Amino acid sequence: MVVSIIKKLFTSYGLVGAFGIVALIMHVAYYIANAIGQKRMGSAFAIIIGLILAYIAGKYTGGEKGLADIELFAGLSLLGGGMLRDYAIISTAYGVKFENLKKAGLVGVISLIVGVFFSFIVGAIIAAILGFQNPVDITTIGAGAVTFIVGPVTGSALGASSEVIALSIAAGVVKSVLTMIITPLIAPIIGLNNPTAAMVYGGLLGTTSGVAGGLAATDPKLVPYGAMTATFYTGLGTLIIPSLGFLLVRAIFS
């Protein structure tokens, strides 16, 4: 009886339950961060704990939505879903100086174009090296290295098989997860400590969730700058990869 009431609480008050779960994760993360004397790493630890829990839940349920596939934690898909994520990202733009954006405007555009092509070319080269010969497959996997949305969009536009599309999604997920984890570690080395560099970073990496998580763990003040350019990346990718990118690959491989 008690169990069923508790279960009902979690399922009918999903969002409230999610607030509680995230608060608990963050408390544990900041406790660890304090214990090792790295207070600023708190949010990075929280993100990593989230990813580990998502991995465990994926193993346990066989689903695709991490912890949210466990009925009790389904509310997390509302709190961590696209709607509230975008709403909160937009709010971080408050306090940004227009001057800073203007200064980095052109370089932001350049980094977007370089970023999309760079990731695509790297992904396509890896696919070719590992034995894929069909231009459609190579393009689709390259598109997955852009983001996990560009991959399937490109794959279905070109008529790739579902295995290849799944691979392209996996490549995109690797990119976004890795971005969340290594950004705070690599930030001092690559000079990611000012608004201009953050805009370049958003334009080059482009995975919205990766950039959002990576910058949050590095320096929350940089979030709006990176997020602003990153949000154009997937759109640009879905525009140029299935068209220009495919023509390029086909010219080389057939």
Partner 1 sequence: MEIYGMGIISLCMFIGTFLGNLLGELLGVSGDVGGVGMAMLLLVLISNYMESKGKPFPERIAKGIEFVSCLYIPIVVAMASIQNVLAAFKGGAVAFLAGGLATIGSMLLIPLISRSVHLKKVAK
Which of 120, 111, 147, 150 has the alpha carbon at shortest distance from 229?
111
Query: Is residue 41 part of the contact set for partner 1 (CB under 8 A)?
Result: no
Residue 202's contacts (CB-CB under 8 Å, 6 or more residues apart) are 108, 111, 211, 215, 225, 226, 227, 228, 229, 230, 233
Which of 160, 197, 248, 249 touches partner 1 by CB under 8 A?
A: 197
Q: Annotate each residue in 67-106 with x if it binds partner 1 (CB under 8 A) or - if it does not, as one string.
A: xx----x--xx-xxx--xxxxxxxxxxxxxxx--x--x--
List the one residue from 51, 109, 134, 250 that touches partner 1 (CB under 8 A).
51
Is 34 in contact with 91 (CB distance < 8 Å)?
A: no
Enumerate residues 106-165 that contact partner 1 by CB under 8 A. Answer: 107, 110-111, 114-115, 118-119, 122-123, 126-127, 130, 132, 141-142, 144-146, 153
Neighbours of 109 (CB within 10 A): 15
Nearer to partner 1, 3 or 138 (CB): 138
Helix (H, G, I), strand (E, B) or coil at 133: coil
CB 227 within 8 A of CB 215: yes
The residue assigned the tokens 């190579």 is 138
How near is the Cβ of 44 to partner 1 at its closest, in Å?
10
* Secondary structure class of 89 (helix, strand, coil): helix
The minimum distance between CB 1 and partner 1, in angstroms, equals: 29
Least distance to partner 1 from the beta carbon of 26, Å? 6
Q: Does 34 bind partner 1 (CB under 8 A)?
A: no
d(CA 157, CA 242): 7
> Which listed residue (165, 177, 222, 249) binds partner 1 by CB under 8 A?
177
Which listed residue (160, 236, 248, 249) binds partner 1 by CB under 8 A? 236
- CB nearer partner 1, residue 173 or residue 248: 173
Binding window for partner 1 (CB under 8 A); candidates: 3-11, 32-40, 166-174, 244-252: 166-174
Site residue total, partner 1 (CB under 8 A): 112
The four Cα atoms 120, 160, 174, 53 give a dihedral, to 10 degrees, of: 160
Is 50 among the residues that bind partner 1 (CB under 8 A)?
yes
Q: Shortest CA distance to 212 belongs to which of 118, 104, 88?
A: 88
